[in-house]
Amino acid sequence: MSSVRPATPAWPPASTPRLFVDRPLGPGMTLSLDGPPANYLANVMRLQPGDVVRLFDDRTGEWLAELRDLTKRAVHLTIREPLREREAVPDLWLLFAPIKKGPIDWLVEKATELGIGRLQPVITQRTVVDRLNLDRLRAHTIEAAEQCDRTALPDLAEPVKLAALLKGWTADRALLFADETGGLPLAQAATPGPAAILIGPEGGFTPDERAMIRAVPGASGVSLGPRILRAETAAAAAIACWMSIAGDWR
**Binding segment toward ligand SAH, per CB under 6 A, in 20-28, 35-43, 54-62, 220-228:** 220-228
Q: By CB under 6 A, what part of segment 223-242 binds ligand SAH? A: 223-225, 227-229, 231, 234
DSSP-assigned beta bridge partners for residue 96: 121, 199
With respect to ligand SAH, which residue has the nearer C-beta, 39 or 125?
A: 125
Residue with smaller CB distance to ligand SAH, 62 or 209: 209
| Separation between Cα atoms, residue 91 and residue 156, nearest integer Å | 14
Q: Nearest approach, Cβ of 179 to ligand SAH (angstroms)?
A: 5
Of residues 33 and 178, the one with the C-beta less far from ligand SAH: 178
Q: How far apart are CA 182 and CA 121, in angstroms?
A: 23
Contact between 33 and ligand SAH per CB under 6 A = no
3-state secondary structure of 22: coil
**Backbone dihedral angles phi then psi of residue 140, each to the nearest 5 degrees:** -70, -40
Main-chain phi, psi angles of 197, to 5 degrees: -110, 130
The span from the CA of 20 to the CA of 61, in Å, is: 10
Q: Please report whether residue 185 would count as binding ligand SAH according to CB under 6 A.
A: no
Q: Select 57 or 209, whichever has its Cβ closest to ligand SAH.
A: 209
Cβ count near 113 (within 10 Å):
17
Interface ranges with ligand SAH (CB under 6 A): 178-180, 199-200, 202-205, 223-225, 227-229, 231, 234
